Structure 1
């Protein structure tokens, strides 16, 4: 009898507990969010996510990008079927133009003290011509900028090539390819697969990885399709499309393609295939933004450290003084917005405000003190070797810790915090070198630097407008029509310039420059006006 009573009581307790949990789940406020990055579906639970959900009472129903982003954006706007919140990379402004995003400035003023505080220097820059703010960029720099392990862009070269040549300092594009070509001849295969001397990315909107090459060879950071050149104390917008440097760049790629150095599949491979090739360790060189190769680099660090990719600020001539490193900036053309479909925008902005608070940012980026990082007697954060090993496992960071699901697309903080700690652990001044992998340290030691940005000159400091690519062209304007036609010309001609025979290069170059002639005038005029305004008002 007593045994039966005990079982009955236990069943009642379990039922009550289940009811309590269910009720707690039912009480959660849910928001649908579209995020323009490719990630696996969120499992619903992670170290970071569980804490955030408990503290906010909010559950996010995420939709991540599958397929082409521009096509996805077009379908959403055509159907007017919007989630509660969204971020669509550099297509976010299309939702503003479609009237799909609501103004945020009043919501920020009344309900978002953290956003108001940490984005204060950038709010005016985020206002559109109508005076409204429609989205919040992923990163705000509330205090001082921090150092970083990797520069934003580089001509990457495989560590094996550097090691075989006693770690040379690479200055010119010719030198870069000479090293790659010679190493490929001596090592035609790697782990049973054909060695790829050089590959590039030309997949959809990511094609800038290829087309921006001439700009970087000229020693400039990523500005977009044009370069503001300082002339007589003023920044004057100049094109690099059709320039002698661009011709040199594609002629070199064409030469290397016909020698079998450049990947035969480069112009038909998609982003995932590009990453797979680099992750295999058989690619010797590529040019790209670091955030586009980071996933592959993390695989190499863990699985094939001798094949990690090392960035250099390569120029078309060794005498060129490069300033390829980015000056810290806020992306004023993309960010998280709240749509007209959201029934509770106050709760939505409060959630975003919670995410950008100091405590939450420390949680998302560093973790839990004592578990995921330590604090020394001076108040500086650091990680033990055991903790560091956890965070060097990208799958653990994504799926168990959960950082990717609350950081990449949402308002976040960068730079140094008020206590001197970097919000991003990878940029902690005292830990950039210390937290690097053994393979990374080996390369840094060979060049006498404590980060890979140490291989670069300091960035331009007086470019208040930076970067030009954050200036948008008005829809259906002459400048925007020019830009579209320019993109069509690049898609049509660049693969041919690289992959056709060397004998046809001059003819192909003439056809390319003839088509782009007259497609830049309105763009330059619009960019120049915006550059002048920013330099005067920012």
Structure 2
């Protein structure tokens, strides 16, 4: 009956609007928004590069389409099993057949993406992260569809990003207004904070640290004074992900204009490469001394998983996700299952050498993107469908399921999962919660798993990261750094070698000048000069973009 009604609605709309007999979707009554610059490409040219399109003059209803459309979508994170309950729900709602193209994982995912983009069976929707130079090649080869016109007709995605951070779409938009990459996941302004074992503080009668010196004393006590009271020397001050300097944010941000892999810019607009800035030497010295004293978990210089390490316990300080504060956080649930009397609490960032405690800022730009490829038979219908899926109610159903069946909202308005998206039941029962994760994630009221306390924690961390955000550069098109791009892998290899060798004691900050000379021999000095020019040009484009948005109201 549902499909029959759908066909009737679609047919009536098609006749009423005099749509071509080959256009199989109904039109809505909402007018297209004029915000942003729409693509000027004609329907004819889009047909040549992207297959058959619907009537681009009218806004279509993706839930009222008579013809069944086959859709292939690349996924890697979130739910990846085929024919789940959620997938079938989407198929019926939009009259499509969905095929998931599952990428192999973080190690081999990008290689697989390149193979798929180079072949004849490219998914209709491709997801990727990083790969800036590859994106440039795909765009120039006509592999991706310009969705700017669609984005201004079907506005859930556009309106969400403009509400959260208007700069997000600037970093996704080309100079001519075209949009080939849709932001897939954009973090909160800051999504991490400093965590500490309150039970260990209480056991040792210590106060919450407020300065870097106090934090280091707490780390010493957590290492040497038996904070768990088991009579064994089996605890450490700080722990975290292996090979990830984010664990050392309190020391890194004790100094200005430094970073472990990002570009920096000072108050006068002077650009530098963070790992080569003078203050990098200072925080490396601080961290290496703490590591040598045994206050940091030894395996932090190895390939370890931060969540797993935290779940296992054994250390009392970490810099990690604000979302750990949610009662359904799997890492914390695993930790408390083995340590029921323990208590992790988030604390304010400590004050360092520069007197300005800052949390780690996320970028306005997405860390992952997705795009509609030239294999899509009807890119407008495909975009309209996906944009509808990203509306608030649809997003909640796709990520969390059906209220009363998969979760409840208690009398205090708090989310309580019956079947959590990360749970084993979601997989074993093939429910499909969190399908298409990182192909658009809401961080507003659609993130119903955040408690009020967690929301406040995100807001505090975000507000406490803005000064540092002003010191870090975001590149609209990293491929514009034509001198840095070919040397980037070699430069980053040397940076990582030196950072971890210094921390682990195999190298020393006394060899800083040799390290800088090595980077410059790879071409870094010339790359920094070019980066300055690119930054200046980008600043002008950003100002023009903001002026245009202001003029549009």
**Normalising by structure 2, what TM-score?**
0.68
1:523 to 522, 527, 531: 531
The CA distance in 2 between the partners of 1:159 and 1:86, in whole Å, is 44
Q: Which residue of structure 1 lines up, in the alignment, with residue 6 of structure 2?
A: none
Alignment of 1:81-230 (within 5 A): 82-91=122-131, 94-98=134-138, 99=141, 100-109=143-152, 112-115=154-157, 117-119=159-161, 123=169, 125-129=171-175, 131-138=177-184, 151-164=190-203, 168-187=207-226, 194-202=234-242, 207=244, 209=246, 215-218=252-255, 225-230=262-267
Return closer, same or farther for 1:455/1:171 CA change in 2, 3 Å cut-off: farther
Return closer, same or farther for 1:124/1:268 CA change in 2, 3 Å cut-off: closer
Q: Which residue of structure 2 lines up, in the alignment, with residue 511 of structure 1?
A: 514
1:40-77, Cα deviation, whole Å (9 max, x unpaired): 6426324x545334322342414144241444445545
Q: Which residue of structure 2 lines up, in the alignment, with residue 324 of structure 1?
A: 359
Return closer, same or farther for 1:195/1:138 CA change in 2, 3 Å cut-off: same
1:486 aligns with 2:491: yes
SS in 2 for 1:61: strand
Return closer, same or farther for 1:409/1:390 CA change in 2, 3 Å cut-off: same
The CA distance in 2 between the partners of 1:202 and 1:500, in whole Å, is 16
Counterpart contact for 1:172–1:316, Cα < 8 Å: yes
Give ranges in structure 1 of 5+ residues lacking alignment.
Answer: 1-26, 142-147, 416-421, 437-449
1:395 aligns with 2:423: yes
Number of residues of Structure 1 aligned to a counterpart in Structure 2: 458
SS in 1 for 2:100: strand
Counterpart contact for 2:210–2:350, Cα < 8 Å: yes
1:268 to 276, 279, 302: 302
SS in 1 for 2:71: strand
The CA distance in 2 between the partners of 1:219 and 1:370, in whole Å, is 50
The CA distance in 2 between the partners of 1:289 and 1:457, in whole Å, is 12
Counterpart contact for 1:479–1:526, Cα < 8 Å: no
1:280 to 304, 309, 312: 312
Alignment of 1:399-438 (within 5 A): 399=427, 402-406=432-436, 408-415=437-444, 422-427=445-450, 431-433=451-453
Return closer, same or farther for 1:239/1:354 CA change in 2, 3 Å cut-off: same
Return closer, same or farther for 1:186/1:65 CA change in 2, 3 Å cut-off: farther
Return closer, same or farther for 1:477/1:457 CA change in 2, 3 Å cut-off: closer
Counterpart contact for 1:218–1:322, Cα < 8 Å: no
The CA distance in 2 between the partners of 1:169 and 1:455, in whole Å, is 18
Alignment of 1:456-471 (within 5 A): 456=461, 458-459=463-464, 468-471=473-476
**1:323, distance to aligned residue in structure 2 (A):** 4.1
Counterpart contact for 1:138–1:409, Cα < 8 Å: yes
The CA distance in 2 between the partners of 1:423 and 1:35, in whole Å, is 21
2:95 to 48, 53, 57: 57
The CA distance in 1 between the partners of 2:259 and 2:275, in whole Å, is 14
**1:311, distance to aligned residue in structure 2 (A):** 5.4
Return closer, same or farther for 1:475/1:397 CA change in 2, 3 Å cut-off: farther
The CA distance in 1 between the partners of 2:160 and 2:172, in whole Å, is 13
1:473-496, Cα deviation, whole Å (9 max, x unpaired): 226701323544431221221121
Return closer, same or farther for 1:462/1:536 CA change in 2, 3 Å cut-off: farther
The CA distance in 1 between the partners of 2:258 and 2:408, in whole Å, is 34
Counterpart contact for 1:365–1:423, Cα < 8 Å: no
The CA distance in 1 between the partners of 2:491 and 2:358, in whole Å, is 26
1:357 aligns with 2:391: yes
The CA distance in 2 between the partners of 1:73 and 1:274, in whole Å, is 26
Q: Which residue of structure 2 lines up, in the alignment, with residue 19 of structure 1?
A: none
CA RMSD in angstroms comes to: 4.3
Q: Which residue of structure 1 lines up, in the alignment, with residue 105 of structure 2?
A: 66
1:5-26, Cα deviation, whole Å (9 max, x unpaired): xxxxxxxxxxxxxxxxxxxxxx
The CA distance in 1 between the partners of 2:545 and 2:251, in whole Å, is 30
Q: Which residue of structure 2 lines up, in the alignment, with residue 4 of structure 1?
A: none
**1:497, distance to aligned residue in structure 2 (A):** 0.7
**Normalising by structure 1, what TM-score?**
0.70
Q: Which residue of structure 1 lines up, in the alignment, with residue 20 of structure 2?
A: none
